[in-house]
Amino acid sequence: MPKRYEDEIRDILKGMGNFPGETPPRQRRGWSPPSLGGFRLDPQRVMGGALILMLFAWILRGPWAFSFPSLVAAAGYISLFSIALFVVALVMLVRGGSFGRGQAYAPNRWRGQVIEMPGRGGLLRSLRLWWRGVKARFSRRGPGRPGPRGRDSFQW
């Protein structure tokens, strides 16, 4: 009897790719943003840096800059560089696969299986909920209360 169980266990383990407790073989990852030391260079940081540079160029080109032509030229070069950085950040977002999804995170998993979360309604639903909140804020009733002639309502 025990020999039969041992044979079944051996057959099951032979069918598995690796034994329990071993690490699975590494899978090749897709594109990932470069990192400099411990500093990760992700698209959001690149885009934020581009916007900060554009703001700096805008401040540099203030009303005091017209008496200094070199400041106007430097502001122009800084703004061109910030536009180039912004385009690079957009390319990084598209290449990373997060453009349109909003996030560049791993898919949701439960017990090792990828799960699909239900849709949250999209743009039209969120606009409708926002409009209902605005209407409720400026009306006499609260957001979850029925109207003045709702079911089982009594007015004094």
pLDDT of residue 142: 53
Q: For residue 33, is it within any domain? A: no
Pick from 129, 154, 126, 125: which is nearest to 143 by CA? Answer: 129
Say how many domains are in the chain.
1
94 found inside a domain: yes
117-121 mean pLDDT? 72
Confidence category of residue 117, pLDDT binned at 50, 70, 90: confident
Structural contact between residues 108 and 117, judged by C-beta atoms closer than 8 angstroms: yes
Q: State percent of the chain over pLDDT 70.
A: 67
Whether 96 has a pLDDT exceeding 80, the answer reads no
pLDDT classification of 43: cutoffs 50, 70, 90: confident
**Quick check: 51 pLDDT over 80?**
yes
**Would the pLDDT of 113 be above 70?**
yes
- Beta-bridged to residue 35, according to DSSP, are 40
Angle formed by the axes of helices 69-96 and 43-60, to 10°?
A: 160
> Is 47 part of any domain?
yes
Q: Is residue 147 part of a domain?
A: no
Evaluate whether residue 114 is within a structural domain.
no
Q: What counts of helices (H) and strands (E) characterise the chain?
A: 4, 4
Average pLDDT over the chain, rounded to whole?
76
CA distances from 123 to 10, 16, 45, 128, 132 (A): 55, 45, 26, 9, 14
Over residues 27-42, mean pLDDT = 64
Please check whether residue 119 lies inside any domain of the structure.
Answer: no
Closest CA to 84 of 32, 138, 46: 46
Whole domain around residue 84: which residue ranges? 40-102
Q: Give the tokens for residue 48.
A: 């934020």
